[in-house]
A = this chain, B = another copy of it.
Amino acid sequence: MSFDRENLESVLKRRFFYAPAFDLYGGVSGLYDYGPPGCALQANIVDLWRKHFVLEEDMLEVDCTMLTPYEVLKTSGHVDKFADWMCRDPATGEIFRVDHLVEEVLESRLKGDKEARGLAAEPDKSEEKKRKKKVKEIKAVKLDDETVAEIESVLAQIDGYSGPQLGELMKKYNITNPATGGPLSEPLEFNLMFETAIGPSGQLKGYLRPETAQGQFLNFNKLLESNNQKMPFASASIGKSFRNEISPRSGLLRVREFLMAEIEHFVDPLDKSHPRFVEVADTKLRLLNKNTQQEGRTDIDEMTIGEAVKAGVVDNETLGYFLARIYLFLIRIGIKPDRLRFRQHMSNEMAHYAADCWDAELQTSYGWIECVGCADRSAYDLTVHSNRTNEKLVVRQTRETPLVTEDYEVELDKKKFGPKFKKDGKKIETYLTSRSQDELESLAAELDEKLKITVTVEGVDAPVEVEKELISISRKKKLDHIREFTPNVIEPSFGIGRILYSLMEHSFYIRPGSESRAVLSFPPLVAPTKVLLVPISNDEKFGPFLRQISAALRRVGISSKVDDSSATIGRRYARNDELGTPFGITVDFDTLADKSITLRERDSTKQVRGSIEEVVKAVQSMVAVEPVSWEEGTANLTPFTSEAEE
Contact = CB atoms under 8 A, between A and B. Distances in A.
A627 interface: no
Contacts of A24: 218, 385, 389, 391
Contacts of A115: none
Nearest to A225: B16
A55 interface: yes
Nearest to A58: B561
Interface stretch (A64-72, A396-404, A510-518): A64-72
A554 interface: yes
Give the dominant DSSP class at A's interface: mixed
A16 to B, nearest CB: 5
A329 interface: no
A509 interface: no
Contact of A67 (B23, B31, B63, B228): B31
A503 to B, nearest CB: 16
A123 interface: no
Contacts of A16: 219, 222-223, 225-226
Interface stretch (A37-45, A154-162, A589-597): A37-45
Nearest to A228: B565
A301 interface: no
Contact of A195 (B58, B196, B218): B196
Contacts of A417: none
A79 to B, nearest CB: 14
B554 A55 contact: yes
A209 to B, nearest CB: 11
Contacts of A346: none
A194 to B, nearest CB: 5
Given A55-B559, A65-B21, A198 B35 contact: no
A554 B200 CA distance: 48
B63 A34 contact: yes
Contacts of A200: 86, 95, 190, 244, 246-247
Contacts of A190: 200
A195 B43 CA distance: 29
A557 B557 CA distance: 11
Contacts of A228: 565
A561 B21 CA distance: 42
A103 interface: no
A372 to B, nearest CB: 20
Contact of A62 (B33, B72, B196, B559): B33
Nearest to A217: B24
Contacts of A247: 200
A71 B28 CA distance: 11
A23 B217 CA distance: 12
Contact of A39 (B21, B61, B65, B246): B61
A355 B228 CA distance: 54
A197 interface: yes
A28 B67 contact: yes
A425 interface: no
Nearest to A220: B24
A25 B67 contact: no
A28 B195 CA distance: 16
Contact of A240 (B36, B39, B60, B240): B240
Interface centre among A24, A72, A218, by most chain B C-beta atoms within 10 angstroms, is A24
Q: Which of A58, A223, A565: most chain B CB closer than 10 A? A: A58
A204 interface: yes
Contacts of A633: none
A35 B256 contact: no
A196 B219 contact: no
B22 A69 contact: yes
A32 interface: yes
B28 A204 contact: yes
Contact of A33 (B65, B240, B256): B65
Given A61-B39, A68-B22, A197 B198 contact: no
Interface string A220-257: 00110110100000000001101010110000000011
A208 B257 CA distance: 11
A334 interface: no
A641 to B, nearest CB: 29
A201 interface: yes
A200 B247 CA distance: 8
A240 B66 contact: yes
Contacts of A36: 60-62, 223, 226
A40 B55 contact: no
A275 B35 CA distance: 26
Contact of A71 (B25, B42, B222, B225): B25
14 contacts: A16-B222, A19-B219, A22-B72, A28-B67, A28-B198, A32-B65, A33-B62, A33-B215, A34-B63, A35-B62, A38-B63, A42-B63, A199-B246, A240-B240
Given A16-B222, A33-B64, A36-B62, 7 more contacts: A21-B64, A29-B199, A34-B64, A36-B61, A38-B63, A196-B208, A199-B244
Closest 3 CB pairs of A and B: A34-B63, A33-B64, A36-B60
Interface of A: 15-16, 19, 21-25, 28-29, 31-36, 38-40, 42-43, 55, 58, 60-69, 71-72, 86, 93, 95, 190, 194-201, 204, 206, 208, 215, 218-219, 222-223, 225-226, 228, 239-240, 242, 244, 246-247, 256-257, 385, 389, 391, 554, 557, 559, 561, 565, 625
